[in-house]
Structure 1
Amino acid sequence: MLNKTIPKILITGATGQVGRKTINFLLSNKEIELVAAVRSPEKAAAFTAKGIATVILDFDDESTHLTALKDIDRILIVTGYTVDMLRQSKALLDNAKEAGVKHVVHLGACGRDDTTVAHWAWHQLIERYIEWSGFSYTHLRPETFMQNVLSYGGKRAIENGVIHAYVEGARLSWVDVDDVAQVAALALAYPEVHGGQTYRLGYDAITFDEMAGLMTSIVGKPFYYEPLSPEIFLQQMKDSGAEMAYMGCVYDHWKRYAAGTIPGADDTFDNFFDITGKQPVKWIDFIEKHKAEFDY
């Protein structure tokens, strides 16, 4: 009898929104072995309690890479919000190549192939490096996360029914993080189906005024949109000590959203059912799901 080797999947960003939810989608799959990448033994405890193996991996400490990548077949790469994502991704991919990783699922950002929004373009450069390195790959390009309306940058985005954003009256394309994680899980579990694909993930396009109207109707209390100047965001990021090479790009893209100069800002896609066999979450569904959190 031949021994069947079960593919081993490493999830980076395991404590974050997408990584954590991707793990949840994969937990019941007995045809794979899950490994969560964490930066410290303390962060491993929650995964160990669920019977999930962990490894120590620090994007900035290349000495941790090869040990963490030993015997890994597939990897989900989720980087943080700094310009260092470029250097970190290259180093990790180089080491993944040396370790024999076969399939890479990369969490990127919004945008058409010709985007000039800086931090979106950085992700596309990483996509090209993945391809150039010879990996089987699935590129994920989620539009704006619906969860950003629950909180953004550690702060509530809605206070007493008032929605604040930095994009004037722009219509944005949105996606539920749960749907992103579901696609990531399938791409990791079935690379023979999803290899070589770039999945743009955005399934509902609305303005913040329209969002306020939906919330008023569903929650049963008044909601209003009050646009803020992108300058306020920029100052908040400076005051918080955020990494400004990245946040300066975010500031610039808020300005471009507000001015209507981002082509395809409201692009939506019909690929979710083909990928998952399910319908994507729309704003009506999301507000219903989080009704208690939006209430005030």
Structure 2
Amino acid sequence: MSNTKFPKILITGATGQVGGKTIEFLLSNKEIEIVAAVRSKEKAIPFANKGIATVILDFDDDTTHLPAFEGIDRLFMVTGYTVDMLRQSKVLLDNAKKAGIKHVVHLGACGPDDATVGHWVWHQLVERYVEWGGFSFTHLRPQDFMQNLLSYGSEKTTNKGVLNAYVDNARLSWVDVDDVAQVAALALSHPELHSGKTYRLSYDAKTFEEIAELMTSIVGKPFRYEPLSPEIFLQKMKDAGADMAYMNCVYDHWKQHANGTIPGASDTFDNFFEITGKEPTRWADFIKKHKEELVY
């Protein structure tokens, strides 16, 4: 019987898109132990059914941090979409340091180091705190998720062939959530290869009009793009009772996209093959993969 101790990796945001996909990629690695962080016993059930260990971790309840971190070597850090991410991240990282966690992979946001968009800046401040804490680290900076074509928040983005967005006809750069998760899984599995790296993740630049044209040709149904005013987004968020400190930042960046005032908004990168040995998902691939979801 082997007494080999495998590295133990804690996945926060395990019930979300990126965290869940990251776990799927990690399951093929038999030389690590995966632990999913959940906020309740009920949310642990689906993971237990798959044989995945869980711990209770609440970013807002620091009494859950150290028990959850016991025996953990590496941490995938996925924060919430509120300004509370700053306080939550600091306290979480302070406790991760106390617990002896060595490597942190942080899911951040778009932009170069001199980004000025509010919530992008917040993520970069968290990155710096990770570095200040003395952790081995990998920073992930995905651009816009292709999955936003399917839904954004609780709303469908595409309805009976009509695409809506708040960016006028800006050209944006895009990445598939699956590709982000694959990079995260590799950075968690092999920190010796990815430590100290900041990976900007976007591999196809398109306007919504161009995406609608591709959808029409691949799905075989007519699609068209109808831009909406960012003011509509702002009012929806107010009506929904959303955290407006965060949503005002999102509103501002929609306006900047629509006005073409965000430098490098359509930048793409050639790092995916080097990281994974595979080609990244591009829009034609994504539409083919989700064709059934797009048929109306």
Under a length normalisation based on structure 1, what TM-score does the superposition of the two structures give? 0.99
Corresponding residue of 2:168: 168
What does residue range 227-266 of structure 1 map to in structure 2 within 5 Å? 227-266=227-266
Q: Could you tell me how far 1:3 is from its partner in structure 2?
A: 4.0
Q: What amino acid sits opposite 1:223 in the alignment?
A: F
User: 1:157-205: per-residue Cα shift (whole Å, max 9, x none)?
Assistant: 0111000000001000000000000000000000000111000000000
Take 2:28 and 2:292, find their aligned partners in 1: how far apart are those partners? 29
Take 2:3 and 2:68, find their aligned partners in 1: how far apart are those partners? 24
Q: Give the superposed CA RMSD.
A: 0.9
Corresponding residue of 1:96: 96
The answer as to 2:112 corresponding to 1:118 is no
Q: Could you tell me how far 1:4 is from its partner in structure 2?
A: 2.8
Corresponding residue of 1:18: 18
Give 3-state SS (helix, strand or coil) of 1:263's partner.
coil
Give 3-state SS (helix, strand or coil) of 1:97's partner.
helix
- How many residues align? The count is 296
Corresponding residue of 1:129: 129
The answer as to 2:61 corresponding to 1:51 is no
What does residue range 78-89 of structure 1 map to in structure 2 within 5 Å? 78-89=78-89
Give 3-state SS (helix, strand or coil) of 2:116's partner.
coil
Q: Could you tell me how far 1:107 is from its partner in structure 2?
A: 0.1
Give 3-state SS (helix, strand or coil) of 2:262's partner.
coil
Give 3-state SS (helix, strand or coil) of 2:34's partner.
strand
Q: What runs of 5+ residues in structure 2 fail to find an aligned partner?
A: none
Corresponding residue of 1:61: 61
Q: Could you tell me how far 1:2 is from its partner in structure 2?
A: 8.9
The answer as to 2:179 corresponding to 1:184 is no
Q: What amino acid sits opposite 1:95 in the alignment?
A: N
What does residue range 149-164 of structure 1 map to in structure 2 within 5 Å? 149-164=149-164
Take 1:3 and 1:55, find their aligned partners in 2: how far apart are those partners? 23
Give 3-state SS (helix, strand or coil) of 1:58's partner.
coil
User: 1:117-141: per-residue Cα shift (whole Å, max 9, x none)?
Assistant: 0100100000000001100000000
Take 2:241 and 2:43, find their aligned partners in 1: how far apart are those partners? 24
Corresponding residue of 1:108: 108
| 4+ residue segments displaced more than 2 Å | 1-4
